Homo-oligomer: A and B are copies of this chain.
Amino acid sequence: MTASGSPAPMPEERRAQVVELLRRRGPVRVADLAQALDVSAITIRRDIALLASQGLIRRVRGGAMPPAVAPAQDHGAAPADEPAPRATAEQSAGAPRRLTVGMVVPSLDYYWPEVIRGVREAAAATGIKIVLRGATYQAADERRQLSELMDSAGVDGLLVAPTTTGDDGEELMSWLRQAPVPVVLIERAAATGAHDAMESVVSDHTLGAAMAVRHLAVLGHRRIGVITTLHSPTTPHIRRGWSHACTELGLEPDAAPDVTTVDQRDPAWPAELDRILAACRQTGTTALLVHSDPEAISLVERCRERGLRVPADLAVVTYDDEVAELCDPPLTAVRPPRRSIGRAAFTLLAERLTDPDPCRPTHHVVIEPRLIVRSSSS
């Protein structure tokens, strides 16, 4: 019943799908694969032969199975005519090759340094090497970085925070899904319940936003607005948490400003800012949850210029806590667990790389943020 929509599954792509299917479903028969991928059995056999010669899968009569972990005892006469490079790399007795992990993040100057620190910290205890690349929130760019990492550095696994939006984003994700090495997504994941073959480590931004709203509600605020940035992948989660918490607490989310706008470097920002503050005054909004510190700081400064006291007239909670304490007054902030995210992502990948079980199921890790209360609220 595979819908007739697949135009041209490239050979390479199909083989990657074979490996993927095998990893997810365990032993697979030739006939099943042929039906699933809509090619003839002979083609599948050729694929299996090729992949088996690369050690990516194990060929058996009738189909394929996940690569064997050396059977308990091969009595000298091991069928070791095939080196099987990648699959058994870490367990080759004597000289275990040093594992290398590639990491690609969208930026090296905001949010991500702390994540990288977490990764490095976790990696330090192991012998695993980290190769880092920073891209620039451009899917095409990241794709290039990844390709280079795969080809030249020969990494054994990837930690990636990909750009998922746009056509390039779609393509990047499907490239990652079929990558020949394990991939752990950082701060990106498909919606819960969807089957996404890739493992992931994410902050619970939804909870983080809800925590901020509850904090403000406890302080007596009844009109709490939210300001988020247009192009951030975090935005939908924050808005969801905000709206959930508002309805749960009996506040009216519709009555308060609810703006998704350009970021603070955009020429249109100052005008937006004034619009936001005007809306606050108009609706009687006394508290704002602002996504990302620079925007929040800029907003607080504008408040001061206009004689609005923070927090007396307008309480502000910022989302990110990168530079929130540098503001005057220091900003209450939701701090995503950046360092823990990094640590957990590395740990997850390392476990997959060293786990001898070829059918190890896909893990997802969710980590809760913290609310750091400073003077911009309360």
Chain A residues close to B by CB (< 8 Å)? 1-2, 8-13, 16, 24-27, 29, 54-56, 60-63, 65, 67-80, 91, 192-195, 204, 206-207, 210-211, 217-220, 240-241, 244, 337, 340, 344, 356-357, 359-373
Contacts and interface: CB of A to CB of B under 8 A. Distances in A.
B367 A366 contact: no
A194 B241 CA distance: 10
A193 B206 contact: yes
A370 B340 contact: no
Nearest to A70: B77
A69 B75 contact: yes
Nearest to A237: B193
A72 B60 contact: no
A258 B241 CA distance: 32
A12 B65 contact: yes
Nearest to A340: B361
A17 to B, nearest CB: 9
A192 B244 CA distance: 11
B206 A192 contact: yes
A360 B347 CA distance: 15
A210 B2 CA distance: 17
A131 B25 CA distance: 34
Nearest to A93: B77
A116 to B, nearest CB: 17
Given A11-B61, A61-B10, A370-B24, A211 B193 contact: no
B363 A76 contact: no
A63 to B, nearest CB: 5
Contact of A25 (B24, B219, B370): B370
Nearest to A196: B368
A67 B72 CA distance: 11
Contact of A361 (B77, B357, B362, B367): B367
B25 A371 contact: yes
A171 to B, nearest CB: 23
Contact of A62 (B10, B80, B367): B10
6 closest A-B pairs by CB = A12-B60, A10-B62, A71-B72, A337-B361, A13-B27, A362-B368
28 contacts: A1-B217, A2-B218, A10-B29, A10-B60, A10-B63, A11-B60, A11-B61, A12-B60, A12-B65, A13-B27, A25-B370, A25-B373, A26-B370, A54-B71, A54-B73, A69-B77, A70-B76, A72-B79, A73-B80, A74-B357, A77-B91, A193-B206, A193-B210, A194-B207, A361-B369, A364-B368, A365-B365, A365-B366
Contacts of A63: 10, 13
